[in-house]
Every structure is written in structure tokens, then in C-alpha cells.
Amino acid sequence: MVRGVDTPAECVEVESAHAERAVELLRGSGLLLPGSKAKSDRVRGVVRIPVVASSSAAAKLLSAHGIPSAPCVDTFEVGSRGLRFTDLLRGVLPEEVLSRIPRSYQLVGSVAVIHLPEELLQYGPEIGEAIARVSAGVRAVYSSIATEGEFRVRKLVRLWGEELTETVHTEYGVKFVLDISRVYFNPTLSYEHWRISEEVASGERVLDLFSGVGPFSFHIASKRAATCFAVDSNPWAVIYMVKSMALNKLRGRVVPVLSRVEEFLEATGERSFTRAIVDLPHRSLEYVDAVLGKLVCGGVAHVYALGGEEPPAVAASSARLVEVRRVLDYAPRKYVYGLKLARVC
Ligand SMILES: C[S@@+](CC[C@H](N)C(=O)[O-])C[C@H]1O[C@@H](n2cnc3c(N)ncnc32)[C@H](O)[C@@H]1O
């Protein structure tokens, strides 16, 4: 079990006069129980300091610095604010396990998602509970195994909390309802969603291809009187876009379209959009020519594509490369780049 508020912990008892120095020494060697408060007994003139490893290891350290102490066990108030979840697991899971737990995880509404190596799934309940303790409002913690199929949906294993995969996520005040087991969603892209929406002017017609649950479109339409056609082949993505409409006060319009992008492009007239977003990083470049044909002269395409240390090359005679940015780490030495192209006629 992860240590919580007023739960037992090993400790060392020192005279009050030595307490400050003892805390400093224990903290410096990583033995102090993070987020915890020492207990002072004024009558006896002693302080009890909670530790993460055994109290005998702590006593040995203090003794080496001339501070006498006695081992003890007591209950301590352990707060979780400002702590990393791994701090709560010190002394709970073996060091060797701790060193292999990824430090980062994603928060999607009330759900947290971490990518645990398979051999660590047995520690899932402790890891999940620790994540929930340091992240306000988290009701369920999952480990994602892989992103699967055309819909890029994650396979999930529940580690802790409720059986809850549908949640409302908020980015810069824009709300999306979505089920992380049914649709693709990556909260790490929130800045990118916001950044693109800042470029759009009212009156634009935007093609949001491979839209997922429509974060680009909702950011744009909540800010500008623009019309965004959000195209995705996953029926759940379209269902959640319709649901998200009720959650946001939109200045523009989001038009969810359930279609494969190939078919949508075939059925759409040339030069009818001012801007396009193409977000299927491992295949986006295949669509560039067809998408540029849908843009008015001077129209802009934001293309997200995979590259290594160097960005991917785009060969399109009808476009000028305006900007290249690294947007996301994808795999070791593989990145998602954002390429901005302007249609030339
Ligand atoms: C990388 S995700 C898009 C993410 C989204 N733009 C965002 O910012 O959250 C790719 C999306 O493309 C959809 N998809 C994959 N192949 C498709 C196709 N041929 N036609 C339409 N949608 C497709 C998937 O269902 C998935 O939602």
C-alpha cells in the first residue's frame, strides 16, 4: 500500500536540539519520507522524523554525524502536494523496480495513462494509487499497451480506480468528451491545437483531416467565426465531436464528417478551403498533393509528419514551405514535425 495521510512509517527519534540538522542530513541522503511532517514531543524534548528506508539505516547515518537517535514506528501526516508519484513509492517498491518506472504519464480528464513495461504490471495497483494521490481529480489509472489499427486507439489495462474510460478533458478552456479506449487522443498536443487556432481568421473554411475528436476544430471554432470540416473514419470520434458541441460555446462551426479522408477528398471540389490540417504523422505526406488542390491560392496546409534528426522532405510543386517545427517526441530519435505549406498558384 502507498503511504497516505496518518499512516505508519518507520522513524528516528532525536533530541529537539538536533532535529533541524538531522532532517537536513536525512533529506540530503534521500532517506526523509517525502511530503511528511516530523512530530515534536515538547514534554520529552524529542522529535520523531519519518524515513523511507529502515530506521536503522537512518540511525547509522545520524550517528556518523554525531547525532544520537533511537529507531521508532509512528503514524505521520503525509501530504502529496508537490510530490512526484515515485516519491510515494520509495520504501514501498524495491529500488530496482522504481528505477524502471516511467516518470511521465498523461492526464485525460479524470483518467491517467502511463506506459508501463509489461514486467511492471504486477506493481500496477501501487503505481496507480500513487499517481492518483499526486494528481487531483484522477478517478482511474490505466497502463497503455499499444496504439492499434487505423483508428490509432490505445489498448488499456486498468491499474487502479474506477472502470472509467469516458471523460471530459479541458484544453485552454475548450472541452472534449471522449472515451480513451475508443478514440485517439493525445493531451500532449494541447499547445499545438491552441497555436494553430491563433493563426486562423474569422470567415475561414478549414479542412481538419484525421481530426480524431476534433481538438483542432474545437479550438478554432471556439475562438473564430470559422467553419471547420472535421473528417475521421472512426465513428466514435464523430459521435464524441457531436457530444462535445454541447459542452462548448462556439463562435464558429464544427462539421463532423464520418469518412475516410481519401473518399472525402475525392468528393470535394478544388480550391474550396483556406486552410487544411493533415494529422496522420506516419502517412500525412501521401495526402499533401491532393490536399493542396483543395486550397485557395495562398491557402495554408499544416502537415504533421514523422522525421528523424532532420525534418522530412516535402516535394510539392504547388506549395512553398513556410515553417518547420518539431512538435512531439515520437520514439528515440524520431519526431513529429509540423510543416506549414502555402499554396502557390
Ligand atoms: C493521429 S490521430 C489524429 C489526432 C487529432 N488530429 C488530434 O489532434 O487529436 C489520427 C486519426 O486519423 C484517423 N484515421 C486514420 N486513417 C484514416 C483515414 N484513412 N481516413 C480518415 N481518418 C483516418 C484515426 O481514426 C485517428 O482518429
Instruction: Give the chain's domains with CATH numbers.
Output: 7-76 (3.30.70.2580), 85-164 (3.30.300.110), 182-343 (3.40.50.150)
The rounded radius of gyration (Å) of the Cα atoms in the chain is: 26
Biggest CA pair distance of the chain: 86
What whole-number percentage of the chain has pLDDT above 70?
96
Q: What is the pLDDT of residues 103-139, one digit of tens each?
A: 889 999 999 999 999 999 999 999 999 999 888 789 9
Any ligand 1 atom below 6 A from CB of 279: yes
Tell how far the Cα of 153 is from the centroid of ligand 1, in angstroms. Answer: 10
- The predicted pLDDT at position 33 comes to 81
Any ligand 1 atom below 6 A from CB of 261: yes
Nearest ligand 1 atom, CA 259? 21
- The predicted pLDDT at position 316 comes to 79
- The CB-based long-range contact list for 292-295 (8 Å cut-off, 24+ gap) reads 292/316, 292/318, 292/319, 292/341, 292/343, 293/318, 294/207, 294/265, 294/268, 294/269, 294/270, 295/271, 295/343
Q: What is the pLDDT of residues 274-295, one digit of tens each?
A: 999 999 999 999 999 999 999 9
CA angle 141–146–147, rounded 5-degree value: 105
Q: Which residue's CA lies nearest to atom 12 of ligand 1?
A: 210
Nearest ligand 1 atom, CA 277? 6
Any ligand 1 atom below 6 A from CB of 195: no
pLDDT(199) > 80: yes
- The predicted pLDDT at position 315 comes to 81
Q: What is the pLDDT of residues 14-61, one digit of tens each?
A: 999 999 889 888 877 778 887 778 899 888 899 999 988 678 889 988
Cα-flanking dihedrals φ and ψ of residue 292, to 5°?
-60, -35
pLDDT(219) > 80: yes
Q: Are 304 and 337 in contact (CB under 8 A)?
A: yes
Tell how far the Cα of 336 is from the centroid of ligand 1, in angstroms. Answer: 15
Any ligand 1 atom below 6 A from CB of 210: yes
Q: Are 153 and 179 in contact (CB under 8 A)?
A: no
- The predicted pLDDT at position 303 comes to 98
Three-state DSSP at 85 gives helix
- The predicted pLDDT at position 80 comes to 63
pLDDT(148) > 80: no
What's the distance, Cα to Cα, between the start and end of the chain in Å? Answer: 65
Query: Strand 153-161 to strand 174-179: parallel, antiparallel, or no bridges (unpaired)?
Result: unpaired
Task: Give the span between the Cα atoms of 211 and 280, in whole angstroms.
Answer: 9
Q: What is the DSSP letter of 52?
A: S
- Closest among 299, 298, 308, 314 to 332, alpha carbons compared: 308
pLDDT(265) > 50: yes
Q: Which residue's CA lies nearest to atom 6 of ligand 1?
A: 211
- Candidate of 108, 178, 228, 280 to mutate for ligand 1, largest count of ligand atoms within 8 Å of Cβ: 280
- Indicate the pLDDT class of residue 74, thresholds 50, 70 and 90: confident
- Closest among 278, 281, 272, 271 to 318, alpha carbons compared: 271
The average confidence (pLDDT) of the chain is 92
- Indicate the pLDDT class of residue 3, thresholds 50, 70 and 90: very low
- The predicted pLDDT at position 317 comes to 83
- Indicate the pLDDT class of residue 145, thresholds 50, 70 and 90: confident
CA angle 110–114–117, rounded 5-degree value: 155
- Indicate the pLDDT class of residue 7, thresholds 50, 70 and 90: low
Is the Cα dihedral 260, 265, 268, 273 positive or negative? positive
Any ligand 1 atom below 6 A from CB of 287: no
- Closest among 315, 320, 282 to 301, alpha carbons compared: 320
pLDDT(82) > 70: no
CA angle 31–121–106, rounded 5-degree value: 80
- The predicted pLDDT at position 79 comes to 66
CA angle 293–294–296, rounded 5-degree value: 95
Nearest ligand 1 atom, CA 283? 16
Q: Are 108 and 139 in contact (CB under 8 A)?
A: no
- The predicted pLDDT at position 1 comes to 47
Nearest ligand 1 atom, CA 216? 8
Q: How many residues does the chain have?
A: 345
- Closest among 232, 193, 183 to 209, alpha carbons compared: 232
C-alpha cell belonging to residue 175: 472541452
Q: What is the pLDDT of residues 302-317, one digit of tens each?
A: 999 999 999 999 987 8
Average pLDDT over residues 140-169: 93
